[in-house]
Structures are given as structure tokens and as C-alpha cells.
């Protein structure tokens, strides 16, 4: 059984959506953290997590085409 609440799962989905959007951006806006917070209603921590996740997505795409 998971210790995650429905709000945690919803937040995780928001972070993942933000990460996918960011990974697809050729020229993301700068600074990116405020943009992610505003665009996806994320906390600063969630926006940071989305940035890290987007970087992993880019690496995986490069490795696996």
C-alpha cells in the first residue's frame, strides 16, 4: 500500500506535465522556475523537480532516440 495521498499523486502529475513540456521546449523561457510555477501552478520545489525530470527525459531521448 502506498503512503501517497491523492493530492501527492495530483502534484506528481503536475510535475510530470511540466517536465514533459520543458523537455519539449527548444528555447525555454528564462528564468524557468517562475515560468513553471505560473504555468503549471507548482511550488518552487515542484518546479525544481520538474526541471530535474525534464533533464532526465532529454538524456533518455538522446540515448534511446
Q: What is the pLDDT of residues 12-32, one digit of tens each?
A: 999 999 999 999 999 999 999
Burial of 18 (0-12, 13-18, 19+ CB in 10 A): buried
Q: Is the pLDDT of residue 4 over 70?
A: no
Is the CB of residue 40 less than 8 Å from the CB of residue 33?
A: no
The pTM of the full predicted model, rounded to 2 decimals, is 0.81
Amino acid at each position: 500500500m502506498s503512503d501517497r495521498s491523492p493530492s501527492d499523486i495530483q502534484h506528481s502529475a503536475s510535475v510530470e506535465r511540466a517536465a514533459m513540456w520543458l523537455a519539449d521546449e527548444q528555447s525555454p523561457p528564462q528564468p524557468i522556475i517562475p515560468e513553471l510555477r505560473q504555468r503549471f501552478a507548482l511550488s518552487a520545489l515542484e518546479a525544481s523537480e520538474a526541471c530535474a525530470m525534464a533533464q532526465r527525459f532529454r538524456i533518455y531521448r538522446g540515448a534511446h532516440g
